[in-house]
């Protein structure tokens, strides 16, 4: 039986190329399902999933919830703002309390890197990482690669540049792992203050000039400037960042090829990407959102198959 | 022990031809009828029937779809059966149509149950019929009976019936593997 090599989805780092292929071929069929008049299958009808969001999220939370409901799972939601976490409860206690209500899977976003690893050793449920601090955001990287594969046929051999705030980005790290496992070349581009010092040890290229990076790549993944994670100034002003690293139509017109533009959202229009580019035919931003549901369905389905009865 | 051949190539093609004529008898010009093969082996049978039907009536406008039931199985997490789905390809709406569901072997009936469920995502058919090449009777877990049968086979649970196709295995035939194999 083809099955995932892992029991939890904690990060892309733990996955094999075969795991990624299995997730994608399963997601292909789920994408077909969610485009039917009746967008639901009964596979997870006896599974209960808790969505625990200790950090804000709109699209990831909606995407997971929709994926769970399309698979017929029972869903409970939790946001830390309105909970007993504020009263001093520990993570393990919070989650164990939820599990005692007979929950089979936990989808969690947490501000602390490694919170999911810690939890997976301490509780008995399948865990899906929906983002842990500046560490990993595996389902985002999977849906990004899935979207590249859909648009270009395959990921292997392609050149992808990730532009922006690499330092604070869990999307960047997960994407680097995912793309490299599939045989793509990765470059990061941004101001030196937002590129981690040892990033080249991961085997990625570093470029500080946006136009040069674009000339090299097949795909540009534009990241949002995460002002909420920056406790000191990494660049003089938003305006200066936009002048240097904001993607405009002029950049695209200066290239002798058509590249694909991606963005994990939420977009700051006019900062890292202009409205014109975001809405252009080269942008696959909304395809990414649609694919997110199919990819998350595949991950939940494949992990749920490993729950012992 | 060698598998026992229960249908040889000649018989195989006679049976397919008979099934095709039986379909024509009930559906005449297939105006409102669609064939849906269940992935994976029912698809071969559906395509073969289409070919034979077109040889008999070349002007037939025949729609054939493929349906995958993986996500509708009732044994998810209870079996080692593959999780990986096959392609579902139904480019038409089955609302108000007569559907002939097609599979190679009918055994417990659970696959057909899942197929009926999966099919509903494409509309509410007026009528659903079931066509199978092999009916392993007496082994049903559900009250499901075929409308068209190629051949009835009496077998015990530990035996395995395998339909082989010219396109895949090189020869059209049906083999029975006994429990010792």
Give pLDDT, residue A67.
97
Residue A301: predicted pLDDT: 95
Whether residue A41 and residue B80 make contact (CB cut-off 8 A), yes or no, is no
CA separation for the pair A29, B86 (Å, rounded): 7
- Strand bridging mode A159-163 / A185-189: parallel
Examine the pLDDT at B87 and tell me if it is beyond 90. Answer: no
- Tell whether B91 is within 8 A of chain A (Cβ): no
Nearest to A2 among B73, B78, B84 (CB): B84
| A1: nearest CB among B70, B80, B87 | B80
A21: nearest CA in chain B? B84
More confident: A146 or B122: A146
Across all residues in chain B, what is the average pLDDT?
Answer: 90
**What's the predicted TM-score (pTM) here?**
0.87
Q: What is the pLDDT of residue A231?
A: 61
Whether residue B40 has a cis bond before it, omega within 30° of 0: yes
Q: How far is B56 from chain A (nearest CA, A)?
A: 34
> How far is A31 from chain B, CA to nearest CA, in Å?
11
Which residues in chain A come in under a pLDDT of 50?
none
- Asked whether residue B21 carries a pLDDT value surpassing 90, the answer given is yes
Cα B100 to Cα B33, B43, B61, B132, distances in angstroms: 7, 12, 15, 10
DSSP A287-303: HHHHHHHHHHHHHHHHH
B77–A contact, CB cutoff 8 A:
yes
DSSP per-residue codes, A44-85? TTT-EEEEEESS--SHHHHHHHHHHHHTT-EEEEEEGGGSGG
Given an 8 Å threshold on Cβ–Cβ distance, is A307 in contact with B121?
Answer: no
**H/E run at residue A93:** helix A91-99
Q: Is the pLDDT of residue B82 over 80?
A: no
Q: Is B75 on the interface with A (CB under 8 A)?
A: no
Say which range, A23-27, A186-190, B17-21, B82-86, has the weakest mean pLDDT. Answer: B82-86
Residues 6+ apart with CB under 8 A from B25: none
Contacts of B95 in chain A (CB under 8 A): none
Complex confidence, ipTM: 0.75
Helix axes of A170-181 and A17-33: crossing angle, nearest 10 degrees? 110
């Amino acid at each position: 039986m083809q099955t995932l090599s892992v029991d939890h989805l904690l990060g892309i780092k733990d996955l094999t190329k075969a795991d990624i292929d299995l997730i994608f071929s399963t997601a292909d069929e789920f994408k077909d399902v969610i485009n039917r008049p009746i967008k639901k299958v009964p596979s997870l009808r006896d599974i209960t999933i808790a969505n625990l969001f200790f950090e804000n999220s709109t699209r990831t939370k909606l995407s997971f919830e929709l994926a769970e409901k399309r698979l017929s799972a029972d869903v409970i939601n939790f946001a830390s703002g309105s909970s007993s976490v504020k009263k001093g409860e520990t993570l393990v206690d919070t989650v164990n309390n939820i599990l005692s209500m007979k929950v089979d899977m936990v989808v969690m976003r947490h501000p602390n890197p490694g919170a999911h690893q810690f939890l997976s050793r301490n509780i008995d449920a399948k865990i899906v990482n929906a983002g842990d601090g500046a560490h990993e955001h595996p389902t985002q990287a999977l849906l990004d690669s899935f979207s590249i594969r859909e648009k270009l046929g395959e990921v292997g051999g392609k050149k992808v540049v990730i532009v922006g705030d690499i330092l604070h980005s869990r999307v960047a790290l997960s994407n680097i792992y995912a793309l490299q496992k599939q045989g793509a070349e990765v470059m990061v581009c941004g101001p030196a203050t937002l590129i981690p010092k040892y990033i080249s040890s991961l085997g990625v290229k570093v470029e500080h000039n946006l136009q040069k990076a674009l000339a090299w790549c097949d795909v540009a993944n534009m990241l949002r400037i995460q002002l909420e994670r920056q406790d000191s100034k990494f660049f003089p002003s938003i305006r200066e960042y936009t002048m240097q690293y904001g993607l405009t139509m002029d950049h695209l017109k200066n290239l002798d090829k058509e590249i694909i533009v991606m963005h994990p959202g939420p977009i700051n229009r006019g900062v890292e990407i202009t409205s014109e580019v975001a809405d252009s035919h080269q942008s696959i931003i909304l395809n990414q959102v649609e694919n997110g549901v199919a990819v998350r369905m595949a991950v939940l389905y494949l992990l749920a198959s490993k729950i012992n009865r | 022990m060698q598998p026992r051949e229960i249908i040889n190539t000649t018989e195989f093609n006679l049976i397919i031809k008979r099934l095709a004529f039986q379909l024509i008898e009930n559906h005449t010009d297939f105006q409102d009828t669609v064939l849906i093969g269940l992935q994976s082996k029912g698809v071969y049978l559906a395509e073969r029937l289409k070919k034979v039907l077109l040889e008999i009536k070349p002007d037939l406008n025949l729609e054939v779809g493929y349906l995958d039931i993986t996500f509708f199985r009732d044994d998810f997490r209870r079996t080692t059966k593959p999780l990986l789905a096959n392609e579902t390809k139904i480019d038409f709406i089955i609302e108000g149509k007569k559907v002939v569901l097609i599979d190679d072997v009918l055994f417990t009936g659970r696959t057909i149950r899942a197929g009926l469920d999966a099919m509903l995502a494409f509309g509410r058919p007026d009528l659903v019929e079931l066509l199978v090449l092999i009916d392993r009777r007496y082994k049903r877990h559900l009250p499901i009976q075929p409308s068209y049968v190629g051949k009835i086979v009496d077998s015990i649970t530990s035996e395995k019936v395998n339909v082989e196709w010219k396109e895949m295995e090189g020869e059209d035939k049906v083999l029975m593997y006994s429990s010792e194999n």
